[in-house]
Amino acid sequence: MDVVNQLQRQFIDYSASLHREGFLDDQFTQLQKLQDDNSPDFVVEVASLFFEDCEKLINNMARALEQQQGVDFKQVDASVHQLKGSSSSIGAMRVKDVCIAFRSFCEAQNRE
């Protein structure tokens, strides 16, 4: 039982620090509240979907940015928009903020 308590405390501390440092925001807390006995793996499922989504979108963006003939910023922007939406829905605040900055680069057609 002690071990369980310890792990729980570690988890709580870690969560708190992620919130403090701005990685996660209130939306993530909302997700945690939605998890219950009927849906015990909800957070894990959504987080997994998010990671898959991220991978796919980042790959899309990388490919678009590597285009020799000229970067299709619209495509990059579309991917970032989706990523921004997903990260905002799960509470990944940092990712979302980065996306917002990214999009302004897209608008400026700034490859750097």
Partner 1 sequence: MGNMATQTQFHVLAVDDSLIDRKLIERLLKTSSYQVTAVDSGSKALEFLGLNGENEDEEMDSSVESVSAADEDHQVGVNLIITDYCMPGMTGYDLLRKIKQSSSFKDIPVVIMSSENIPSRINRCLEDGAEEFFLKPVKLSDVNKLRPHLMKGITTKNEMQSNTNKRKGSEEIQSPDRTRPRYNELEVV
Position among 12, 16, 44, 49 found at the interface with partner 1 (CB under 8 A): 49
23 binds partner 1 (CB under 8 A): no
DSSP 8-state class, residue 35: -
Q: For residues 85 and 28, give the distance between their C-alpha atoms in angstroms, rounded to a whole number.
A: 14
**Residue 85 C-beta: closest distance to partner 1, Å:** 5
| Measured CA distances, 78 to 13, 84, 105 (Å) | 36, 10, 13
Tell which one of 24, 73, 76, 84 touches partner 1 (CB under 8 A): 84
Q: Which stretch binds partner 1 (CB under 8 A): 57-65, 66-74, 79-87, 102-110?
A: 79-87
